[in-house]
Amino acid sequence: MTDIGFVRSTMTEARPAPRRTSGIGAWLQKNLFATPLDTVLTIVGLVFLAWVIPPLYGFFFGNAVGPNGTVEECRMENAGACWAYIAAEMEFFIYGFYDIPEQWRPNIVFALGALLLTPLLIPKVPFKRVNAILFLVVYPIVSYFLLAGGVFGLREIPTEKWGGLLVTLIISVVGITLSFPLGIVLALGRQSSMPIIKTVCVGFIELIRAVPLITILFMASIMLPLFMPQGTTVDKFLRAIVGVTLFTSAYMAEVVRGGLQAIPRGQYEAAAALGLGYWKRMYFIILPQALKHVIPGIVNNFIALFKDTSLVYIVGMKDLLEAVKTKNDTALEWQSANTATTGYIFAAMVFWVFCFGMSRYSIYMENRLNTGYKR
């Protein structure tokens, strides 16, 4: 038998130590300088930031006029953003033409909304059902009578005086709250085996999706009164809410339908085998799974609705963006080179804060509800 054993007679050369997998150096190597292309893109990005950041910093902070500044400072050469203009007109941007002595009423509405909505968004907070009833049923009624007045000794404030962020938030919150369940019903109706229900739902969805929102708002503002009995009027604020809600619900229906189609057929058959009726199958088995799959699409529609509120000017309502535009055109005492720009930047920042908040909450819920489907 041949001896195939081998004993090394010389030592091998020492190998270099492995690269560190933690620390800032390892992170930079992995994320910014992993390949030659990554290195080039990183350098280009750094050059771009070095070119963009200094003038932006000078406009927003370095040369900006603070909230306590004056219009003379805003009109100085090389002056940056005129934040003093925003501070001076903040009440109009938030409340519109709402009577100043009565602005405590919108403040209470804002506070109640935040107080009731926050527990609903935190999964671990108990009493969700009671909280939902308070937010979806009691809160709208209390808010309407607080804002509109005319009862309990409150001075009546017509909706024509409502404006600014107040209008944006009301239309977006009401539109989101109503369009979501309506979209679910339309999605279920589109998949219904009943020809009449399916035809009505398909016709509504395709009709609404075939026209832009501004057309629907124009119809609600100009054309709808022509079909109403003589002497009958519909509040333009209500027209805007109905138009935005119907428009969003059609798109919401298609998002939900996509989630329903993603559910395996076996789930439907298993639910039917348990003896559950149609609505119990949908409520307990199918919809929870379907909605989990389409959280990004649902929140995307919510964000689109929030931004689309800027179109309600077509019915004469002054939302946040229209309030900023109105002050830019009429506040002659604040006219300067950067006044209008600062106003639009302020509006953009407000929209970004709300939209980014919805986006981050969407990601949080996706991660929380992840049960192995996420890739």
- Residue 3 confidence (pLDDT): 59
In the predicted structure, residue 321 carries a pLDDT above the cut 70: yes
Does residue 173 belong to any structural domain of this protein? yes
Percent of the residues in the chain that have a pLDDT greater than 70, as a whole number? 96
Q: Taking residues 196-216, what's their average pLDDT? A: 92
Q: Taking residues 194-210, what's their average pLDDT? A: 93
357 shares its domain with 228: yes
Does residue 22 belong to any structural domain of this protein? no
- Residue 146 confidence (pLDDT): 93
User: Hey, what amino acid is at 257?
Assistant: R
Does residue 2 belong to any structural domain of this protein? no
Number of domains in the chain: 3
Q: Which residues 6+ apart lie within 8 Å of 206 measured at CB?
A: none
DSSP conformational letter for 77: T
258 shares its domain with 137: no
277 shares its domain with 321: yes
Does residue 309 belong to any structural domain of this protein? yes
In the predicted structure, residue 373 carries a pLDDT above the cut 60: no
Domain boundary residue among 74, 107, 141?
Answer: 74
Structural domain span for residue 134: 99-156
177 shares its domain with 240: yes
In the predicted structure, residue 1 carries a pLDDT above the cut 60: no
135 shares its domain with 244: no
Does residue 116 belong to any structural domain of this protein? yes
Q: Are 303 and 359 in contact (CB under 8 A)?
A: yes
252 shares its domain with 310: yes
Domain boundary residue among 132, 156, 180?
Answer: 156
Q: Please give the Cα distance from 261 to 271 (Å, whole number).
A: 16
Residue 90 maps to which CATH number? 1.10.3720.10
pTM: 0.87
Which is more confident, 6 or 242?
242
Does residue 375 belong to any structural domain of this protein? no
In the predicted structure, residue 243 carries a pLDDT above the cut 70: yes
87 shares its domain with 53: no
- Residue 6 confidence (pLDDT): 66
Does residue 342 belong to any structural domain of this protein? yes
How many CB atoms within 10 Å of residue 191?
A: 14
Under DSSP, is residue 162 helix (H, G, I), strand (E, B) or coil? strand
Closest CA to 114 of 133, 139, 91, 94: 139
Domain boundary residue among 140, 156, 172?
Answer: 156
- Confidence grade of residue 205 (pLDDT, cut at 50, 70, 90): very high
Residue-by-residue DSSP string for 218-252: HIIIIIHHHHSPTT----HHHHHHHHHHHHHHHHH
Q: Which residues 6+ apart lie within 8 Å of 228 measured at CB?
A: 234
Q: Which helix (H) or strand (E) holds 7?
A: none
- Residue 5 confidence (pLDDT): 61
Instruction: Break the chain down into helix, strand, coil percent, rounded to 5.
Output: 70, 0, 25
167 shares its domain with 308: yes
45 shares its domain with 174: no
151 shares its domain with 169: no
255 shares its domain with 107: no
340 shares its domain with 218: yes
Does residue 14 belong to any structural domain of this protein? no
